[in-house]
Structure 1
Amino acid sequence: MIDGLGPRRRDPLRRYLSAWVGFSAGGHFSQALSVAIVLFAFSTQAIRSVMGWPGAVAVLATLLVLAALSLFGGRHHVEWHGILPVSLIALFGFMAISVLWSEYTWVTVGGVAYAAGFGALGLYLALGRDLVQVVRAVGDALRIVLVASMSLEVFAGLLIDQPIRFLGIRGDLALGGPIQGLAGTRNYLGFLAALALVTFVVEFLTRSVPRSHAAASAVLAAVTLLFARSPVAALAVVVLIVAGLALRTLRRAPEHRRPLLQSVLTVVVVVGGAVSWALRDSLLASVDGASDLSARSLLWARVRSLASVHDITGWGFVGQWPAEIFPFSTVLAPDGRPYATALNAFFDMWLQLGLVGVLLLVVSGTLALVRSWATASGHPIVAYVWPALVLVLIGVTALAESFVLSEGTLMLFVAIATIAARKRSWRSRLPRLSGPPVGSDR
C-alpha cells in the first residue's frame, strides 16, 4: 500500500519542481534576476553594513542557486562549447591552488569561494542573457544605485546635516562633495558613475530604453560623478572619451583601412601611456589627486617589501584584505587604520598571488580587451562598443584601485571576457568531442 502511494506522492513535487525550473528559464524571470545580481554586486558594501557578512553571503548563495536553476531550465538554448576563456580558467585555478601554500588556509578558502561566486554570477550574465539584455540589466541596476545614493546624500548632507556612519556617508553634499553614496568611498562611487555613463550612452544609441529615459539617466550619472570628486574616475572618464572617439573613427572607416588605423592607434596609446606616466604628478594635481598619489606611494612601497618575500606565488589569495591576518595587518594608513586593498590591482595581485598571478591577470585582461575592441571596431551592432569601453574603464581604474579583484567589478570582468571570447575565441574552431561541429561563433 505504501509502496503503491509513493510514486503518486512524488508526482506533485516533481510537477512543482518542473514548473519552477520552467519559470526560472523564462525571459522575464531571467532579466529580473540579472538586474538583482548586478544590483547586489555593486552594492555589497551597503548590504554588509546592514546585514553583516553572514547576510551578504546568504544573498550571494541565493542568487547562485537561482542562476543555476535559470541556466538549467534554459540548458537547451545555451551554447556550452568553449564558454569560458582559458586565461580566466587559469586565473581562477591559480587562486584556488594558492590554498596549498597559504599561511592562512581557511581565509584563503573563503576568499577564493567568494571570488568564484561572483565569477559564476558573471558567467550567468554572459550565458543567460544576450549583450543588449546585459547592458539593460546593468543600466537598470545602476539607476537604482545612483538614485538611492543621491537620495541618501541629500538626506544626510542637506536635510539632517549629519553623516550616516554605518554606510560610510559623510554628508558633505552641501560642501560640494566628495560624496560616497552606497559605494562607501568616493572612488568606487565615481567608478560606478563612469560605468553608468557609458551604459546609459549605449542604451541611448541602441534605443533599448526611451531616449528621454536614457538622457535623464546620463545626467544623473554625470552629476554623481561631479559630486564624487574622484581623481581616479576623472582621469578614467578622459581616457573613456578618447577611447570612444577612437572607436567611432574605426567604425566609420572603410574595412580595408581599419588594420592601418589600429596600428596607428596602438602606437599612439603606447606613446600616450608613456607620456602620461612621466607626467603623472601634474595630471593628478590637475584633478586634485596629488595627496592621493603620495599616500598610495607609501602604501605601494610597503606592499613591494612584503610581496618580495614570496614574489613568484604570493602569500595566498584573500580578495579584500582581512585586517587581523598577517601580513595585511601590518599595512596601515597614516591614521592607523588598516587598508582593505593595495589601491592597485597589480600590486594587490603581486602580494596575494605573486608575479604568476600578475601575469595571469594581465593576460586575461589583455585578451579580453583585444577581442572586445576588435569586435567593437567592426560589428554593425553598436552595443558591442560597451564591452570594450567598460574594459578600458576597468583597466585604467586598476592602476589606482583593486576593484577588479572582488565583487561587482570581478563579476563584470568575467562576464565581458566570456562575451568577448564568444566572438573571437580560438576554441570556436575546435570540433566537439561528440556529434557534428556546431556552426556557432563560440
Structure 2
Amino acid sequence: MGSPGGAHEPVRRYVSAWIGFSAGGHFSQALAVAVVVYAFSAHAVRALIGWPGSLAVLVSLVALAACSLFGQRRHIEWHGILPVSLIALFGWWAVSVFWSDYTWATIGGVAYAVAFGALGLYLALGRDLVQVVRASGDALRILLVTSLALEVLSGLLIDQPIRFLGIAGDLALGGPIQGIAGTRNYLGFLAAFGLVTFAVEYLTRSVAKGLGLASCTLAALCVLFSRSPVTAAAVLALVVAGLALRSLRKAPPTRRPLIQGALAGIVSLGGVVAWLSREQIFPAVDATGDVDVRIALWARLRQLIEVNSLQGWGFVGQWPTEVFPFSTLLTPAGRPSATGLGALFDTWFQVGLVGVLLLAAAGGLAFVRAWTTASSHPIVAYVWPALVLVLIAVVSIAESYALFEGTLMLVVATSAIAARKRSWRSRLEARPTAQFR
C-alpha cells in the first residue's frame, strides 16, 4: 500500500515547482513591470473592465508577489526593512474603522491601501534597486507611449474624444492631454516620474544610449503637452534637487554637512520668496483656475475638519463619491470631487491631526534617509529614491496621489529601500548568549 501522503505528492511537487519558478529572476522582473504598469494605470483598467475586474487583477498580483517573495525568503533580509513610522501610519488608517461613519467604505479603503502597500514592499524586497529602476522604466515607457498614441488617435486622426478613458482629444490645440492617466496633472506626474527614472537608467547604463535619450524625449513631450502647473513646479524642484545631489556627491565628506545646511537655507528662502510672489507666479503658469478650485474645496474641508479635527472622519483613500460627506464636496462643474486635491488637507480630513503627524513623520524620515544615502553612496542609482520622494512631496501640495494606488506603492517602496541602508533597527545586533561552564 502507498503511504497516506502519496496521493498528495504530485500537488506538492507542482506547488514547489511553481514557487521556485516564481522566485526566478525573469519571472520576478516581469512581475515587477506588471505591478508598476497596473498600479499607475488603475484608472484605465477600471474604465475597461470595471471595479470587479480591476480588483481581480490586484488580488492576482498580490498573490503572485507573495508567492515570489516566499520563494526568495532565504535570500531576503527582513530585519528592520519596514519603517516603524510607516507601520504606524497604516495602523492608524486601520484603526479609523472604529469611529468611521462609513465603516464598510473605510474597511475597503484600508484593504485597498494595504494591497498597494504590499506591492510596494514586494518591489523593495524582491528586486534590488537597479532592477526596481529598470522595471519602473519599462512600465513607464509602456504607459507614456500608450498615452501619447491614444492622444494622437483622438486629437489628430479621428478628431473625437475617447470619453470612457477621459481623453479630451486636444493634442491638435497643444493640449492639455490626459492619456490613460485620466487627468493632465496625473499624466504630468507620470511623465516627471519618467524623467527621473529614465535619467537614472541612462546614468547607470541599464539601457542603451539611444533608448535612454528617446525615453527622456518621450517624457519631456508628455510634460509639455500635459500643460500641468503642478508638474512644472515638480520638474523645477527635481532640477534643483538633482543639481544639489550632484554637488554633494562630488564634495569631500568633511564638507557635506556645511553644504547640506546651505542647501536647506536656500530651499527655505526660495519657498518663502515663491509664497510671497504667488500672485505673480500663478497667472504666469496658468494656474489661477486650479488654485481657485483648491482654495474653495479646502475651505469646505476645513469646516468638516473642525467636527473631527483630532481623529478625522475615517480613512478611505480615493473618495467614494456616493457616500456622505464626500457626496457634498463638489467641483465647479457640480460633480463630487474624487480627492481632496492635496495630501495634507485630505489626510487631515480623513484621519485627523494624528494622521497628518504620522504622514509627516513617515515621509520626512524616508526623505532624510534617502537623501543622506543619495548624497554619499558611490552607486548613482541611490539618487532615484531621493528624487522620487522630492517629486511626490511637491505634487502632494496640490494632489492626493500619495494616499492611494501607484503613488502609495511608490512611497512604501522608496521608504523601505531607504530604510535598508539607514534604519536604526538594522544596526541592532543580537546580544551574544552568555556561556557558563
- The normalised TM-score by structure 2 is 0.98
Q: Distance in 2 between the 1:433 and 1:136 partners?
A: 39
Q: Counterpart of 1:123? A: 121
1:273-422 aligned at under 5 Å gives the runs 273-422=271-420
Q: SS in structure 2 opposite 1:259?
A: helix
Aligned residues, how many?
434
Q: SS in structure 2 opposite 1:319?
A: coil
Q: Counterpart of 1:18? A: 16
Of 335-344 and 266-275, deviating more is 266-275
List per-residue Cα deviations over 1:15-71 (Å, max 9, x = no partner).
Answer: 111110000000000000000000000000000001111111110000000000000
CA RMSD of aligned residues (A): 1.3
Q: Counterpart of 1:153? A: 151
Q: Counterpart of 1:40? A: 38
Please report how far the alpha carbon of residue 321 of structure 1 lies from its aligned counterpart in structure 2 after TM superposition: 0.7
Q: Distance in 1 between the 2:59 and 2:275 partners?
A: 42
Q: SS in structure 2 opposite 1:309?
A: coil
Q: Distance in 2 between the 1:325 and 1:40 partners?
A: 26
2:85, 2:361 within 8 Å by CA — same for their partners in 1?
yes
Please report how far the alpha carbon of residue 211 of structure 1 lies from its aligned counterpart in structure 2 after TM superposition: 1.3
Q: Distance in 2 between the 1:334 and 1:65 partners?
A: 41
Give the alignment partner of residue 69 of structure 2, picking from 71, 80, 83.
71
Please report how far the alpha carbon of residue 262 of structure 1 lies from its aligned counterpart in structure 2 after TM superposition: 0.4
1:81, 1:432 within 8 Å by CA — same for their partners in 2?
no
Q: Counterpart of 1:176? A: 174
List per-residue Cα deviations over 1:142-192 (Å, max 9, x = no partner).
Answer: 000000000100111111100000000000011100000010000000000
Please report how far the alpha carbon of residue 283 of structure 1 lies from its aligned counterpart in structure 2 after TM superposition: 1.9
Q: Counterpart of 2:193? A: 195
Q: SS in structure 2 opposite 1:163?
A: coil
Q: Distance in 2 between the 1:236 and 1:317 partners?
A: 27
1:313, 1:353 within 8 Å by CA — same for their partners in 2?
yes
2:314, 2:350 within 8 Å by CA — same for their partners in 1?
yes
Please report how far the alpha carbon of residue 270 of structure 1 lies from its aligned counterpart in structure 2 after TM superposition: 1.4
1:179-258 aligned at under 5 Å gives the runs 179-258=177-256
Where structure 1 has 5 or more consecutive residues not aligned to the other structure, the ranges are 437-442
Q: Distance in 1 between the 2:87 and 2:432 partners?
A: 23
Which letter maps to 1:43? S
Identity rate, percent: 67
Q: Distance in 2 between the 1:54 and 1:434 partners?
A: 52
Which letter maps to 1:86? V
1:186, 1:229 within 8 Å by CA — same for their partners in 2?
yes
Which letter maps to 1:175? L
Please report how far the alpha carbon of residue 282 of structure 1 lies from its aligned counterpart in structure 2 after TM superposition: 2.1
Q: Counterpart of 1:440? A: none
2:81, 2:423 within 8 Å by CA — same for their partners in 1?
no
Q: Distance in 2 between the 1:432 and 1:316 partners?
A: 40
Q: Distance in 2 between the 1:331 and 1:223 partners?
A: 34
Which letter maps to 2:367? L
Q: Distance in 2 between the 1:400 and 1:434 partners?
A: 51
- Pair 229,299 (structure 1): closer, same or farther in 2 beyond 3 Å: same
Q: Distance in 1 between the 2:409 and 2:274 partners?
A: 29
Q: Distance in 2 between the 1:426 and 1:5 partners?
A: 50
Q: Counterpart of 1:165? A: 163
Q: Counterpart of 1:103? A: 101
Q: SS in structure 2 opposite 1:199?
A: helix
Q: Distance in 2 between the 1:387 and 1:360 partners?
A: 20
1:71, 1:124 within 8 Å by CA — same for their partners in 2?
yes
1:197, 1:221 within 8 Å by CA — same for their partners in 2?
yes
